[in-house]
Structure 1
Amino acid sequence: MTDKKKSMKLGFKQISKWLHLWLGLTSGIVVVIVSLTGAMYVFHQEIEDALHPWRFVEAQNRAFVPPSQLIDTAKTYVAGEKPTGLTYGNREGAAAVGFMSAMNGKTSFSVVFMNPYTGAFIKKEEPLGKGKFDFFHFVMNGHRALWLPYKIGRPIVGLATLLFLVLLITGMVMWWPKKWNKKSLKRALLIKRNANSKRLTFDLHNVLGFYSLIFACVFAVTGLIWSFEWFGDSVYFLTSGGESRVEHVHPHSDASKAHLQKNDSMPAIDRAWYQMLATEANPQWVYMTPVLHKEDDSFEITVGQIDGKFYKQNEYFYDRYSLEPLRVKGDRYAEAGFADRLSMMNYDIHTGAVLGLPGKILAFLLSLIIASSPISGFLLWKNKRGKR
């Protein structure tokens, strides 16, 4: 290697080292908070289900009751509010109608659980509202916005995540062994258990950082897709082979057909429900908008194909008057291209749910490792300063 190449290589490593230090000190506390809250949230569904047995019913060999029956029952338990969401679970899951409202900047949320086979009331929950505290909602607020107002905290989290992505790259540059021999590889890949505290801190930062690198990149990229529109557009552009991401739009109903439903005894939402069931043989979960506010709003029904996962889903839209099916780009998983499928999988990849329970366990452990990296990095920096 020539002296010029050696000098360039040394300069690149020095720049990487400087960036790694100062970007780490700048974003470290945010990375710790986001990682720890992410770890706490991974199993929120399993914990919630264990603590709330009323979310389950005994499976029966019969059809679910239609949406209108569930909505009418739920309204009797939440006076004066309009339902904002209706969910059917799998054959052993309770149906739920949610009511969300905002007043003076405060959000309240109530949900009524019912037996989907009979429509019978099971339980009413009020996780959000005056005097209410929901632990996992609190955790998610920290994960998304550091418990700050959303408009302030969200950009801070996004920027810190972007810096974290740069840290991963500079960290890889610093980890790279000068010589690829047995001794250097052992130092780079193994933690020396009988070492002193300073060496152990270095190994925890260096070795665990290497093993978690790819997964940390995945967490960062999937998080940044939500944080910055330009980042999501860029990922879509790269994964689609140069196509632009199309904004998700809801098709509109034709208000000129309003007369078509006036004398129909079956509620339009039930007709939309049965039309969807004629297409979907075995939905694992269903979410729908129960109340339409504008004349040209359409019924939207999202159908999940896999229990406990969000990515493999189909969306159905129906004209509120004629019940004619309405189509939009990317509304069927089977017809979606690679980039659209990847976009649908973003949440499940971010949480590890895409790989089921093993993926969630992996995401939990990796989140703890990532949370420890800024701490071990800070200790290394502090130890070096103490020597001076």
Structure 2
Amino acid sequence: MSEKKKNKTFKYWVGRIHLWLGLISGLFVCFLGITGCILAFEREIENVSQPYRNLAVQNKALLPPTLLKQIADKALPNKKAHSINYQPGKTAQVVYYNFDPEYYYIVFVNQYTGEVVKVKNMNDDFFRIVIMGHYYLWLPPAIGQPILTSATLIFVLLLISGLILWWPKNKAASKQRFTVKWNAKWRRVNYDFHNVLGFYITWVIIFIALTGMVMGFQWFAKSVYFVSSGGKSLIEFKETYSDTTRNAKLAINTSAADKIWLGYLKADPEFKGSLDVHVPENEKASIEIAKNPDPETYWKSDYRYFDQHTLKEIEVNHAYGKLKNTTVADKIYRMNYDIHVGSIAGLTGKVIAFFASLIAASMPITGVLIWIGRSKKKKKAAANAF
């Protein structure tokens, strides 16, 4: 068998695999691409369409987190506050999040006056609804997430097989692999669109797909960490607790959160990023402070934990501790979401992610059109043979 025939046979089977994988995952890929486009500029759209999120910086003292929590508790009774977020130019957010019973609310409070600006049920929020579809297909997470992540895995295989099929046989053929022949018939334009734009977006969408798999498959997340760390296992996040062994009758020391928060403000009065304060819910809980110098991303956040009774810092060894203590593998793990949505590269990254998702959503459609066209051509050729 000649080398040429071998290559043809190999590409033939790659083409068949590409076709069937595309037919299996096409609807899911299209869905993920469209919802990904919607979510690309979520924050920018929210800032414009939801004015209650914005608040001009004032030359007044900020109200402490426990007071904001007390105000929000009155506006949203019988719920447990998860965290209080401060950010210059933004209304303070008191977040209420719980698994059982499940609820997710945000109470927007003016951090200078204590006025409740908005009580929002996030389960009714447009972007929240889209996110739940993008992550879980609006199904229970244990069902929806494996379905979509499996479709993403198939899409990665499609990208690889697509590159093999795209690869030109010679220099003459390579000229047609990088440009779309817009003045040709629509079938040719569609073919070029699928192949040429598919090639260009592969180098972006592969990162979006792989980071999606990190969020969807624990085994894949651990594998990525193992490789990036040079053979070390991922240390999973664990709750930290205050020491209650000395006195079993200790009460919740909510004022400790105010003291630590105030210490942060005095240490860095010109801080322009965001500050999340987790007030303890019970006598065992610790106080968590997350300081993020760049609220447009998440990976740079500095997470610190304190004993609510002694105010001593509790050291942790997982990725969500002090940024300066994180390894390269920890940073890559932290960056996963920011890479997935493109915010790792700022507004430019979001624009790239938007168009990559849009083109990815079109790939199943253009692919099906190519398949239909070829099927009709084969049937016509078979009919003419008789």
Tell whether the structures are fold-level matches, with TM greater than 0.5.
yes
- CA spacing shift, 1:224–1:45, aligned 2, 3 Å: same
Q: Does 1:189 align with 2:178?
A: yes
Partner residue of 1:334? 324
Shift of 1:257: 4.4
Superposed CA offset, 1:30-89 (max 9, x none): 000011001101111111121121211121244422111101111121122221222112
CA distance in 2, matches of 1:250, 1:276: 22
List runs of 5+ in structure 2 lacking aligned partners.
380-386
Contact 1:260 1:322 in 2 (8 A): no
Q: Does 1:369 align with 2:359?
A: yes
Q: Percent same amino acid at aligned positions? A: 35
Partner residue of 1:272? 260
Superposed CA offset, 1:135-192 (max 9, x none): 112211221122222221111101000000011000000000000x2x3222100000
Shift of 1:324: 0.6
> In the alignment, which of 152, 161, 164 is matched to residue 152 of structure 2?
161
Q: Does 1:210 align with 2:199?
A: yes
Which residue identity lines up with residue 369 of structure 2 in the other structure? L
| Further displaced range: 153-162 or 333-342 | 333-342
CA distance in 2, matches of 1:304, 1:28: 38
Partner residue of 1:67? 65
CA distance in 2, matches of 1:354, 1:292: 33
Q: Does 1:385 align with 2:375?
A: yes
Report 1:1-388 matches (<5 A): 3=1, 5-89=3-87, 91-100=88-97, 107-128=102-123, 133-179=124-170, 181=171, 183-258=172-247, 267-277=255-265, 282=271, 284-293=273-282, 295-329=283-317, 330=319, 331-387=321-377, 388=379
Contact 1:260 1:321 in 2 (8 A): no
Contact 2:252 2:281 in 1 (8 A): no
Shift of 1:278: 5.4
CA distance in 1, matches of 2:130, 2:118: 24
Superposed CA offset, 1:120-148 (max 9, x none): 332222343xxxx3211221122112222
| Further displaced range: 169-178 or 274-283 | 274-283
CA distance in 2, matches of 1:283, 1:270: 19
Contact 2:280 2:308 in 1 (8 A): no
CA distance in 1, matches of 2:68, 2:18: 55
Contact 2:26 2:364 in 1 (8 A): yes
CA distance in 1, matches of 2:301, 2:36: 24
| Further displaced range: 156-165 or 243-252 | 243-252
Shift of 1:7: 4.7
Contact 2:180 2:189 in 1 (8 A): yes
Which residue identity lines up with residue 368 of structure 1 in the other structure? L
Shift of 1:291: 3.8
Contact 1:253 1:297 in 2 (8 A): yes
CA distance in 2, matches of 1:291, 1:334: 25
List runs of 5+ in structure 1 lacking aligned partners.
none
- CA spacing shift, 1:93–1:212, aligned 2, 3 Å: same
TM-score for the superposition, normalised by structure 1: 0.90
TM-score for the superposition, normalised by structure 2: 0.91
Aligned length: 375
Which residue identity lines up with residue 182 of structure 2 in the other structure? R
CA distance in 2, matches of 1:347, 1:102: 21
Contact 2:65 2:277 in 1 (8 A): no
CA distance in 1, matches of 2:251, 2:240: 22
| Further displaced range: 42-51 or 8-17 | 8-17
Superposed CA offset, 1:87-129 (max 9, x none): 112x1111011224567x7x4433221122333332222343x
